[in-house]
Structure formats: C-alpha cells, structure tokens
Amino acid sequence: MAGNQKTGKVKKAAAKAGNKGGALKKAIELDDIYCHSEDVVVRTIEDELILVPLVAGIGSVEGEIYALDETGREIWNRMDGRKTVSEIITDLEKTYQSSERSIQSDVRGLMGELATRMLIQRRTIA
Amino acid sequence: MPKESFIIPTTVPELVDRLVSDAERRVMSFELELTARCNNNCRHCYINLPAGDRKAREKELSLDEIGRLADEAVDLGALWCVITGGEPLLREDFAEAYLLLKKKGLLVSVFTNACLITHEHIELFKKYPLRDMEVTVYGVTRETYEKVSRKAGSYRAFRRGLDLLLQNGIKVRLKAMALRSNFQELPAIAEFCRLHTRDYFRFDPQLHLRYDGNGRRNREIIAERLTPAEIASIEQADPERSNAIQRNCDQFIFPGPEHHDCEHLFHCGTGNTSFTISPEGYFRLCSSLWHPDCVLDLRKNSLADAWNKLAPRVRSLTSSDPEFLLKCRNCRIVNLCLWCPAHAYLEHGRLDAWCEYFCQVAHARAAAIEQKKSV
C-alpha cells in the first residue's frame, strides 16, 4: 500500500489535520481495555476506514467524519473490548518491526485521541 | 510502524477528493425524494402534489424499501444522503426514515420549507445531528411568501419553523428561488438570508418544468420565469454570484475546445458521484433527468445494475441532431447556459432539443460579463 497515490493523499490529510486535540488527549493506561463506541458507525470505503458519528457529542465539530490510515486501522481492529492496551501493543510488535517504544507511543496517541472524541469507550470490568 | 497514525477529521468533499479521481465513477452521495407531496402549492414547483394525494402516498417507498435501497447505496460506497421531496416532513415516518439512514452510516441532509418543523424534529436533530438543513425562503413578507406558496398561514408556519431551528442551533442554510412573484422582494430576501445563516446563501433563477409534464402547471412555471435580462441583472447586482459565474464559466461543462466536435449529450458530472431516487423508487442520474430511457425502477432492479449498467449507457448517449450540434455543441458560451439534456427533455420531450429561453439567458449573461469587463 505504501507509496500509492491514495496513501499519499491520506498522509497529506493527516499532516494537514496535525494532532488536533492532542493537548486534551486522554491518558491511556496500559491495563485499560477499550471498545468501539456504539454511537459510531464504521464504514470501509476503498481502503479507508471511516468513522461516522451517530449522535451529538461524539467526534467534534471540526470534521464530519473521521478517517483512519493503515496504522489506525490496525490499532482500531484490535480494540475488541477484551484486549488490554498492553496486549494490543504486544500483538502489534509481532507484525511490525518498530521498537516497542514507538508502537506504544502510536497506540496511546491514537487511542487518546479516539477516547477524547468519545469514538471509543473504556470498558469497566465489574 | 509509521508515525502519522492519528485520526483525520475529514469532510465529504475532502473524502471525494481523496477517493475519486477525475476518470472514475464512484457513488459518494444520493438524493432520496421521500415524497412528491407538499404542504405548500408553490407556483414554480416542478414536483409538488397535494399533501393529501392518496395515490401519490400509496406509491411512496416504504421504510423497508428505503432500508433496502440504503443498504445497496452504502454497499456502493455512498456516504451522504440528501432527504428531499416534495416536503419530506409530510411523511409521518420521517423520523424513522431519517434514523434508519443515519444508522446505515450515512451523513444526512434535509431539504425542507421548514413549515412543519416540530419540537420533536428539533429533539431528533439535536440528538442525531444533521449534516445540514437547507430551507427555501420564498418571501420575507406574508404577502409575497403566500403569493408564491398559495397557502394561507404558510408564512407564519415558515417563520415559526425557521426560528425553532435557529434557536436550537440546527445548522441551516437558506436559499431562494428567483421568480416573478417575489422578484421585487429579492434584495430583502437576500438580506434576510444573510442575516439568518452563517453559511452561504444562494438564489436560483432556473425554473425548470415539471416531472409529471402537467401542462397547466408548466404554463404557470413559464409565467414565473424572469426575463433573461432580469436574470443577468440580479446576478450582476450580487457580487458573490457574479464573481462565481465569471470564475466558473470556464469550468462547468465545457472543459475546452476539444469537446466542440464531440456528439455526446452529457458533459456535466451527472451520474459520476451521485444519483437520485424518486418517491416511487425510480433511479435517475440527477433529479431532473426523467427521460424514460434514463430511469430504472428500483422496485424491480438492483441499485448496482442502475449504477453500473444504466448510468454509463446514459452518459454515453450522443446526438446527431443538426440544430443541437450547431447551436449547442459548438456554442462558446455554453457554460453560462441553463441547458442540459434533462431540462431539454422537460422542455421539448427530447434530450437534444435546443431551448430558446435558456439560450437567451446564456447570451444575456455573456453580455453582462463582457459589459462588466469593459467597465
């Protein structure tokens, strides 16, 4: 996928979007378990994963919908409401060559943004 | 593992830009006409039937049918649905239809006259937000509004509905139709719209004929049309619009001289990223395109067949009519013209018919632009 025109456009959009909301990003603990919000409809269009907020208060006013790139999809698809953040990171380490620190940074960064926008929810274990 | 992994807030236009190349056809949006019925009886309307028209009501798509078509549209990649009519709020199951579409993962816009907005609608839109709502302003006095709508009490209902929407922070865009019955009030309508919406206001002088070919109603529409000189004049008086016309006249339909010899009828983007579904479930490439060879009954056919088989066939239609080829295909100002195959069919029953009124409007616009340039 790397290097094709559409990936280039996604990266350009990501760069344009920057890390909005980063300052307010929720802290993600390694033992936490997250699941997708029930108030988000997940669409796959071409090779993009698109999150469409269903109810008010989900997402933010800056965009109507949210696109996740390849990395985002890998992380999103592992948030099954059972795996801890730490287990997701370990799982990703098996697939990617990057360092644990780098993967952890990406996972916590993305999940922090998703949680801030209420696109994912922390699961409370009874 | 790449670093730029965070989420990308995006919009439909941005997504279209990313996903659809110039050469591609890909479904991104569709219009769903929930009903042809309307609570108003506007003089210029191309679709409206009486609110109580039982036959029209019986033919309307059911919720189940809407759900099936929405699934098919989503499978084809649709992301945005515009609910329109008629007046869509006339449907008693409007809220169910709206939610059904939202839950399919579609962004939903609603085009309405706002007269029937209730507190229940407001609660619905506050909990499940619209992409946006487009409200038509026929006049800003009771006299003018109801001269157009021909419905006593409709101005009061419109103001009440619009106020409800605005007071509750619903994202509303306003638009106006420019017609004989509200011509004198257009400056006041424009002022009202700009005062009440943070988004853009637009007015449309293009009155096209009815889908049902009703002769009496078509004569009423023709009587409401502004003269070409009036259209050019009001457009030039609006700096935003005149600049847009001048800016876009090189970009609309006619990309360059290489198309002057082309015999294809369709040079617009119809059927490239969107389509329309009628209240009875007929697929069209755009809302105006009602030629029988260009529609497909989605109660008997799949949306995929309509999109993948019918639409390319329609887009490849050509004409060998000498008048069309001479007057329209070789026209240097075609980008300023209201003409399109769909409207030609509504005017004269042929997709390649030359339309005198549209031609006159184009020449009036061109003259106005030339005059502006020379000043």
What secondary structure does DSSP assign to chain A, as a single string?
A: -TTSHHHHHHHHHHHHHTTTTGGGPPP--TT-BEEE-TTEEEEEETTEEEEEE-STTSS-TT-SEEEE-HHHHHHHHH--SSSBHHHHHHHHHHH--S-HHHHHHHHHHHHHHHHHTTSEEEPPP-
Residue in B1, B74, B128 closest to A71 by CB = B1
Domain limits for position A117:
29-122
Cβ of A119 within 8 Å of Cβ of B7? The answer is yes
Cβ of B11 within 8 Å of Cβ of A63? The answer is yes
Confidence (pLDDT) at A103: 93
Q: Which two tokens stand for residue B374?
A: 């020379």
Query: Chain A residues with CB inside 8 Å of B99's CB?
Result: none
Q: What angle do CA A104, A107, A109 make, to 5 degrees?
A: 100
Query: Chain B residues with CB inside 8 Å of A106's CB?
Result: 1-3, 5
Closest chain B residue to A15 measured between Cα atoms? B4
Closest chain B residue to A89 measured between Cα atoms? B1
> A107 exposed, middle or buried (CB, 10 Å; 0-12, 13-18, 19+)?
buried
Kindly state the helix (H) or strand (E) to which residue B103 belongs, with its residue range: helix B94-103
User: Are the C-beta atoms of residues A28 and A111 closer than 8 Å to each other?
Assistant: yes
Output helix, strand, coil percentages for chain B, rounded to the nearest 5: 45, 15, 40
d(CA B102, CA B107): 6
d(CA B337, CA B345): 15
With a cut of 90, say whether residue A10 has pLDDT above it: no
SS3 B353: coil
- pLDDT 10s digits, A13-68: 444 544 444 445 678 999 999 999 999 999 998 878 999 999 998 876 556 899 99
Q: Tokens 């638009």 label which residue?
A: B175
Q: How far is A2 from chain B (nearest CA, A)?
A: 10
Cβ of B10 within 8 Å of Cβ of A67? The answer is yes
Cβ of B3 within 8 Å of Cβ of A102? The answer is yes
Q: Residues near B128 by Cβ (< 8 Å), separated by ≥ 6?
A: A54, A55, A56, B98, B99, B102
Query: Chain B residues with CB inside 8 Å of A71's CB?
Result: 1-2, 4-5
Confidence (pLDDT) at B22: 61
- What is the residue-level pLDDT of chain B in tens, covering all 375 positions? 444 546 778 888 888 787 777 667 899 999 999 999 999 999 999 999 999 999 999 999 999 999 999 999 999 999 999 999 999 999 999 999 999 999 999 999 999 999 999 999 999 999 999 999 999 999 999 999 999 999 999 999 999 999 999 999 998 999 999 999 999 999 999 899 989 887 767 788 989 999 999 999 999 999 999 999 999 999 888 877 777 777 666 554 444 544 556 788 988 888 999 999 999 999 999 999 999 999 999 999 999 999 999 999 999 999 999 998 888 887 888 888 889 999 999 999 999 999 999 999 999 998 888 887 777
Confidence (pLDDT) at B203: 84
User: Are the C-beta atoms of residues B362 and B336 closer than 8 Å to each other?
Assistant: yes
Closest chain B residue to A53 measured between Cα atoms? B105
Paired strand residues for B135? B112, B174
Residue in B8, B15, B104 closest to A14 by CB = B8
Confidence (pLDDT) at A125: 67
Question: What number is the ipTM of this complex?
Answer: 0.85
Assign residue A62 the CATH number of its domain. Answer: 3.90.930.60
Dihedral angle computed from the Cα positions of residues A110, B107, B131 and B39, in that order, rounded to the nearest 10 degrees: -160
d(CA B131, CA B112): 14
Could you tell me the domains of chain B?
Answer: 12-220+266-316 (3.20.20.70), 227-265+318-375 (no CATH)
Q: Tokens 């260009």 label which residue?
A: B294
A2 pLDDT band (50/70/90 cuts)? very low
Confidence (pLDDT) at A12: 53
Confidence (pLDDT) at B43: 97
d(CA B32, CA B224): 27
Cβ of B128 within 8 Å of Cβ of A56? The answer is yes
Cβ of B5 within 8 Å of Cβ of A109? The answer is yes
Residue in A43, A55, A63 closest to B9 by CB = A63
Q: B221 — phi, psi (to 5°)?
A: -65, -45
Q: Per the structure, how many domains does chain A have? A: 1
- pLDDT 10s digits, A53-99: 999 988 765 568 999 988 889 999 999 999 999 999 999 999 888 88
Cβ of B1 within 8 Å of Cβ of A51? The answer is no
Residue A18 falls inside a structural domain? no
Residue A79 falls inside a structural domain? yes
Position with higher pLDDT, A109 vs A46: A109
Residue A11 falls inside a structural domain? no
* DSSP assignment letter at B226: P
Closest chain B residue to A104 measured between Cα atoms? B1
Which residue from A70, A102, A75 is spatially nearest to A87, judged by alpha carbons?
A75
Cβ of B5 within 8 Å of Cβ of A106? The answer is yes
Residue A15 falls inside a structural domain? no
pTM: 0.90
Residue A52 falls inside a structural domain? yes
With a cut of 70, say whether residue A1 has pLDDT above it: no
Interface residues on B facing A, Cβ-Cβ cutoff 8 A: 1-12, 14-15, 17-19, 21, 74, 77, 79, 102-107, 126-129, 131
Q: How far is B57 from chain A (nearest CA, A)?
A: 29
Query: Chain A residues with CB inside 8 Å of B128's CB?
Result: 54-56
d(CA B332, CA B71): 43
Cβ of B1 within 8 Å of Cβ of A106? The answer is yes
Q: B202 — phi, psi (to 5°)?
A: -135, 150
Q: What counts of helices (H) and strands (E) characterise chain B?
A: 16, 12
Q: Residues near B99 by Cβ (< 8 Å), separated by ≥ 6?
A: B124, B128
Confidence (pLDDT) at B229: 95
Query: Chain A residues with CB inside 8 Å of B79's CB?
Result: 43, 45, 50, 52, 65
